[in-house]
Structures are given as structure tokens and as C-alpha cells.
Amino acid sequence: MAVYTQVSADELAAFLSGYDIGAAISFKGIAEGVENSNYLLETTTGRFILTLYEKRVAAGDLPLFLAFIGHLAAKGLPVPGPVADRQGRTLQVLNGRPACLIEFAPGVSVTEATPAAAQEVGVALGRLHQAADDFTAERPNALGPASWAPLAARCANPDGSSRLGEIDAALPGLVAAGLAAAADWPAGLPVTTIHADLFPDNVLLLDGKVTALIDFYFACTDLRAYDVAVTHAAWCFSHDGRQFFPERAAALMQGYGAVVDLTAAERAALPRLAAGAALRFTLTRAYDWINTPADALVTRKDPMAFARRLGWYLAATPEMMDGEMMGG
């Protein structure tokens, strides 16, 4: 579940008095999500999402995130935009937390990705990158390659000995191989503002069409092909990372390629970028696994699901990224 900060009826009414969106009819915490507190709010004029940003989102980054969301929404992307109060402000403070009202979007996240959904997501990601082209604000990727070795080092006991092997005996070796591969990180590829976390739970679909891309709170200035790699890793495997689905990969890459023509250098770099993406999620999950008490309200995500993907990408060719299997 993800409601860390409670909001009472009186607090909500005081908050809403600054907006022209009517009075609350219903207000419920949303169980999904990990990072922030999210509520579904229905007022006399419509439905909204109220997000209170918790500790892992740096308050200083929020103006850029909200500006990027607003930029994409204004360009007609399926991105629910922030709602402004009577004074034109989108970013607020509620119960000591930065907070924002966001338009509600219909749709549901797929639990099992299909090739058709992967293709739609590929198209949506391509359109996102196109629309991001003239977004000029910049934010370095705090979870980029330079952060991975220090993050791995923090998955340790106070005496510095690694705890990765407590999660799975194969994990230390996979992380070491991933870090070695990431030392030769591709350079000189096209850069834009990227989503950086376009997992199935951050995409809403209705009748097979993408109705919303959400959760832009890792957005940053980085390689656009790295965003493709993140999305590939998130959409093209079974949940546990044991099985790669070439049809999903083919559909995702076809959908993206219909909008954005990756350069030859980007295509050649994709396996390396995807190994990096898999390492990034392996490490953040491992860190959370080690540092989240087993009885915490948040469900810990399995680091091995991405460590297995990492193993696959380390042996992959650019053709395999497109769903073409070796020898076939």
C-alpha cells in the first residue's frame, strides 16, 4: 500500500478551498504505488488524484517534474496534467508534504503485458521523446551509471561486507558482471528528457489504447535509448525475469520505431544500455530489500527478477533486443 501521510476531511476541505474544483464527494487512499501517498478524490466537478510527495522525491525536483508533465499534457500526450489553484499554483504543501492535484485518467495497468500493449507503449514512448525535444530544463539522472557502484556498496553490513548474497547466492556475481559491463558505458548518443521508469504499473490502458503515462518522478535528462532499454526490461519478460518474450520485444521496438528512428549507434548500444537498466532496478530493489523491514506496509520488490534480466542482456545481441532469437 502507499498512503504514508494521512489527510483528514477537515484538512482536505481547507486544501480544496484554494481551488475551483468544487467540494469533496469521496476521498480514498490508493493501495498501488511505492514512493508517494496517493488519494483518489471525487468532487462535485470531477475526479482527481491527490499526491503527497514522500521522502524519496526531492522537493527541489518537483517544479521540473510538474513542468515536464504539463509540457507533455499540453502537447496532447496521454499524460494527466497538474491542476492549478485559483492563483495558478500547482505545487502545494499539505500536512508538511509537497503536494499536487493531478487530473484523473481512466484505464488500468496490465498485469501481464501482451504484444499489443507493448506495441502501444512503444508508440507512446516514441511520442514522449518527440514531445520532450523542446523541453529545455535539465535534471541529471541521479540513478545513472555513476550511482551504481556506490549503491551496490551500500547494500552492505556496517563493517562493509556485502549483503547481496543473503538475497540470492547468484546476486553478487551478476551485480559484479553488470558493474563491469557498465564501466564501458555508451557515449555520444542522443539525449532528451526521459521517463526512466515506464513500467507496466505506470501505464494505464483502456480498450487496448494508452490512456495515461504516469509517475514521472524519476524523469531526467539522459540517453533516449536508455529509456527504450528501461521499457524493454520492464515489458518483455515474465515477472520473475526467467522468461524473455520475443513477441513483446518485437512489438515494443516496432511501435517505438514507427515514431522515432533509432540511430545505428543506439541500436548497437541497446544490449549494454538494457543491462545497465536491469542493474539499476536490481540495485534499487536490493537496497530496499535490505533496508525495508519484512513487516513494513510496502511490499518489497524482488531484486532477482531484474538480476535475471541483467544476465540475459549481458549475453544479448542487438538483434535479440528486437525479438529475433539467435539462429532464427
Ligand X SMILES: N[C@@H](CCOP(=O)(O)O)C(=O)O
Ligand Y SMILES: Nc1ncnc2c1ncn2[C@@H]1O[C@H](COP(=O)(O)OP(=O)(O)O)[C@@H](O)[C@H]1O
Rounded-to-integer distance, Cα 204 and Cα 121, Å: 10
Query: Are the CB atoms for 255 and 161 separated by under 8 Å?
Result: no
Residues 46 and 54: their CA atoms lie apart, in Å, by 25
**Binding-site size, ligand Y (CB under 6 A):** 21
* Residue 105 binds: one of ligand Y, ligand X, none (C-beta under 5 to 8 A by kind): ligand Y
Asked if 141 touches ligand Y (CB under 6 A), the answer is no
Residue 202 within binding range of ligand X, rule CB under 6 A = yes
How far, in Å, CA of 326 to CA of 198, rounded? 27
Where is 11: in which H helix or E strand? helix 9-16
Residue 111 touching ligand Y (CB under 6 A): no
Is 82 near ligand Y (CB under 6 A)? no
Residue nearest ligand Y by beta-carbon distance: 33
Give the alpha-carbon dihedral of 78, 119, 253, 226, to 10 degrees. Answer: 40
> Could you tell me which residues are beta bridge partners of residue 40?
28, 49
Task: List alpha helices for the chain, DSSP H.
Answer: 9-16, 62-74, 115-132, 148-153, 164-167, 171-182, 224-235, 246-257, 264-291, 303-314, 318-321
Question: Does residue number 33 form part of the binding site for ligand Y (CB under 6 A)?
Answer: yes
Residue 298 binds ligand Y (CB under 6 A): no
Minimum separation from the CB atom of position 187 to ligand X (A): 26
Which of ligand Y, ligand X, none does residue 290 bind (CB under 5 to 8 Å by kind)?
none
112 phi and psi, to 5 degrees? -120, 110
Binding window for ligand X (CB under 6 A); candidates: 94-102, 141-149, 164-172, 199-207: 199-207
| Closer CB to ligand X, 16 or 155, in the complex | 155
217 binds ligand Y (CB under 6 A): yes
| 64 near ligand Y, rule: CB under 6 A | no
Rounded CA separation 81/100 (Å): 10
Query: Strand, coil or helix: what is 257?
Result: helix
Q: Is residue 268 at the binding interface for ligand X, with CB under 6 A as the rule?
A: no
Here's the x/- map for ligand X, 278-297, by CB under 6 A: it reads as ---x--xx------------
266 binds ligand X (CB under 6 A): no
Is the distance from CB of 205 to CB of 108 less than 8 angstroms? Answer: yes
Mind giving me the DSSP string for 246-263?
Answer: HHHHHHHHHHHHTT----
Residue 197 lies near ligand X (rule: CB under 6 A)? yes
CA atoms 179, 325, 124, 117: torsion sign: negative
Please report, as residue ranges, which positions from 9 to 38 form the binding site for ligand X (by CB under 6 A): 33-35
The verdict on 83 binding ligand Y (CB under 6 A) reads no
Any contact of residue 272 with ligand X (CB under 6 A)? no
Q: Residue 240 CB, nearest distance to ligand X (Å)?
A: 13
Nearest residue to 19 via CA among 74, 125, 108, 99? 99
Q: What does the DSSP 8-state code read for residue 84?
A: P
Pair 253, 229: CB distance under 8 Å: no
- Picked from ligand Y, ligand X, none, the partner binding residue 259 (CB below 5 to 8 A depending on kind) is none
* Residues binding ligand X: number (CB under 6 A): 12
Q: Is 227 in the site for ligand X (CB under 6 A)?
A: no
Residues forming the site for ligand X (CB under 6 A): 33-35, 197, 199, 201-202, 215, 281, 284-285, 301
Residues forming the site for ligand Y (CB under 6 A): 2, 30, 32-36, 38, 49, 80, 102-105, 109, 201-202, 212, 214-215, 217
